[in-house]
Amino acid sequence: MLRENGKIAENQNPSHEASRRFTYLTNQIDELYHKVNAKSSLSDSVSWIFYCLYDMGGPCNQSEFSRLYGISRKTINSALSKLEQLGLVKRTAGDGRNVIVSLTEEGLVLAEKSVEPIISAEDSVFDSWSPKEKEELLFLTEKYRNDLENQFKKRELI
């Protein structure tokens, strides 16, 4: 950050301004989901795991959450424990060390009321975009994520 007379000065670097705008927009998107989650009285991470389980369409291997959605195993385990306590999911032993996760009847009813409208809203946004717009968003977001990870590694931040 630039400092002038002990105060943080505006950074006139166009790249920094683009980064700031991108961060603002992603935080605003996160805040929209937080507002939706607040209505269900579930934390953001618990809501996200509940969403993912419903989105997967049925019982699934617990390890699939991390692979498909990029969520840490610690977050997955704690969220699933909370959802089990609430009677919304159940875990059963699978083959070997695999754990199968599924919605309970109560969980399915709640997901249809709370998760399905979110998925429908998200799909409506993408349905209104051209294939080129969708591909551009996904390509550039993935590029940003990969490049940012490389820069963090280069600077030994991760």
Per-residue model confidence as pLDDT tens digits over 97-121: 889 999 999 999 999 999 999 999 9
Domain residue spans of the chain? 1-40, 41-113
pTM score of the predicted model? 0.83
The three-point CA angle 63-27-147 to 5° equals 65
Per-residue model confidence as pLDDT tens digits over 24-42: 999 999 999 999 999 888 8
Q: What class has domain 41-113?
A: mainly alpha
- Tokens 């550039």 correspond to 140
Cβ distance 53 to 110 under 8 Å?
no
Single out the residue of 5, 62, 27, 21 nearest to residue 13, CA to CA.
Answer: 21
